[in-house]
Amino acid sequence: MTRSEELFNEAKRYLVGGVNSPVRAMKPYPFFTARGEGARLYDVDGNSYIDYCLAYGPLILGHAHPEVVRAVKRQLELGSAYGTPTELELEFAKRIVKAVPCAEMVRFVNTGTEATMAAIRLARGVTGRKKIVKFEGAFHGAHDYVLVKAGSGATTHGVPTSAGIPEETTRNTLLAPFNDEAAVERLFKEQGEEIAAVILEPVIGNAGCILPKDGYLRFLREVTSEAGAMLIFDEVITGFRLRLGGAQEYYGVTPDIATLGKIAGGGLPIGVVAASREVMENFSPVGKVYQAGTFNGNPLSMSAGLATLRVLERGDVYRRLEALGKRIRKGLEEVSQDAGIETRVYGVASMFQMYFTGEEVRDYASALKADAELFLRFQREMLLRGIFLPPSQYECNFLSCAHGEEEVDYTLEKAEEVLRALR
Ligand SMILES: *Cc1c(COP(=O)(O)O)cnc(C)c1O
């Protein structure tokens, strides 16, 4: 028995399903990590893996980047929480405001979940309306407003709409298929005066990787503006990932409110709500929308996020990541063709996913048609060859600055070997 299996068997007695977040569940058991370095994870049995999960998105610089490590160590010596403002949070806020088009002010919270919860409350507070529109298969964290037809682990583990959420709450969450203009127009026609916001992942990274079709984000910008509703880009994945300014910079569409997380914390917990001054000043202590947190703007996350941003601001990080993204997407298309297996590969910048299907994937319903079982067999075989892909067709793969052509080419070689064996 491996050490991971031993630990897993024991963990199941103390932690539900042996894990602390459902996405980490893996059959027959997940490997237990001892450490991460650059593009690799090392497990407790001495195996190493090229990591395309990257903690589900935060680690754009790879594991334990020296500049991030140095910044956090330095801060830790100075204390880890004060309950007072710091210069660090001001410095970090200024840089985010400079980078992110919709941001004139920010509020730091602790997780992406908190950020979307606060953003939705803010939109409701500003508009005085109750309803929100969310897209099927999108995931905005694990809170009541949005856990309806949610992607990520909720889909993988068969509970896209969670038990335990009052129907009074979900009644105010309206659903639409992504990339469908008519469905959104219908909702606005029928209930437009009650809709506070449309919230979306501009690229859905929680149902694999689903791209917005040409003009779709602009369409959403227009319908929401016309109806007096807010447009919320949940950029917890895409923020600092597609570009320094996120998907709003990449696609040139500016939302009213953006939520950030993952990369923003440089590997430590974080969430960010960003918007214009006019909107943001509805938050307390200036306005009437309450939001608070003991660890908001916590100095360790601030220092890790700031160190990460400093590296990202430098040079040609995004051009390199984009080129590497193209290489792996094109490579995966080629190797599946050569192996005679029907797949569709999607992605942008340093995001990608390969669906086991011959049909176009443009929304949740078409993503669900892909062969998730075959994907899992692929994922398992890749793991045995030292390549860690997130263990679900409904997650996205990521590249980091620590990945290079060598890792990508090795991955493609192994992918071809596995695909041939799966046929
Ligand atoms: C991960 C994620 C969240 C939730 O962030 P947590 O930090 O896990 O709470 C919200 N929205 C999107 C798009 C995410 O990918």
DSSP code of residue 63: B
Domains of the chain and any CATH numbers = 31-64+316-422 (3.90.1150.10), 66-312 (3.40.640.10)
Distance (angstroms) between ligand 1 centre and the Cα of 139 equals 7
How far, in Å, CA of 297 to CA of 224, rounded?
A: 31
For the segment 341-367, the average pLDDT, to the nearest whole number, is: 98
Residue 75: pLDDT over 90: yes
Residue 398: pLDDT over 80: yes
For the segment 273-279, the average pLDDT, to the nearest whole number, is: 98
Q: What percent of the chain has pLDDT over 70?
A: 100
For the segment 55-59, the average pLDDT, to the nearest whole number, is: 98
Distance (angstroms) between ligand 1 centre and the Cα of 6 equals 30
Left, alpha or beta for 17 (phi > 0: left; psi -120 to 50: alpha)? left
Distance (angstroms) between ligand 1 centre and the Cα of 406 equals 30
For the segment 72-100, the average pLDDT, to the nearest whole number, is: 98
Q: pTM for this one? A: 0.98
Distance (angstroms) between ligand 1 centre and the Cα of 87 equals 27
- Tokens 């856990």 identify what position? 147
Q: Is the dihedral of CA 165, 171, 174, 177 positive or negative?
A: positive
pLDDT band with cut points at 50, 70 and 90 for residue 24? very high
Instruction: Please give all residues whose beta carbon lies within 6 A of any atom in ligand 1, as ranges.
Output: 111-113, 116, 139-141, 201, 205-206, 234, 236-237, 261
Atom of ligand 1 nearest to the CA of 152: 15
Reference 338, options 423, 409, 411; nearest CA is 423
Q: How many CB atoms lie within 10 A of CB 254?
A: 18
Distance (angstroms) between ligand 1 centre and the Cα of 112 equals 4
The residues that bridge with 260 in the sheet, in sequence order, are 272
For the segment 384-402, the average pLDDT, to the nearest whole number, is: 97
How far, in Å, CA of 43 to CA of 396, rounded?
A: 22
Reference 360, options 210, 183, 215, 217; nearest CA is 210
Residue 158: pLDDT over 80: no
Distance (angstroms) between ligand 1 centre and the Cα of 260 equals 9
Entry field: residues in the chain? 423
Residue bearing the CA closest to ligand 1, atom 6: 112
For the segment 343-371, the average pLDDT, to the nearest whole number, is: 98
What is the end-to-end Cα distance of the chain in Å, rounded? 30
Are the beta carbons of 116 and 265 closer than 8 angstroms?
no
For the segment 399-420, the average pLDDT, to the nearest whole number, is: 98
Give residues with Cβ within 8 angstroms of 13, minimum separation 6.
none
Provide the pLDDT for residue 325.
98
Residue bearing the CA closest to ligand 1, atom 5: 112
Provide the pLDDT for residue 157.
83
For the segment 343-368, the average pLDDT, to the nearest whole number, is: 98
Phi, psi of 373 (to 5 degrees): -65, -45
Reference 150, options 331, 345, 394, 396; nearest CA is 394
How far, in Å, CA of 167 to CA of 68, rounded?
A: 44
Residue bearing the CA closest to ligand 1, atom 11: 140
For the segment 25-29, the average pLDDT, to the nearest whole number, is: 94
Residue 155: pLDDT over 90: no
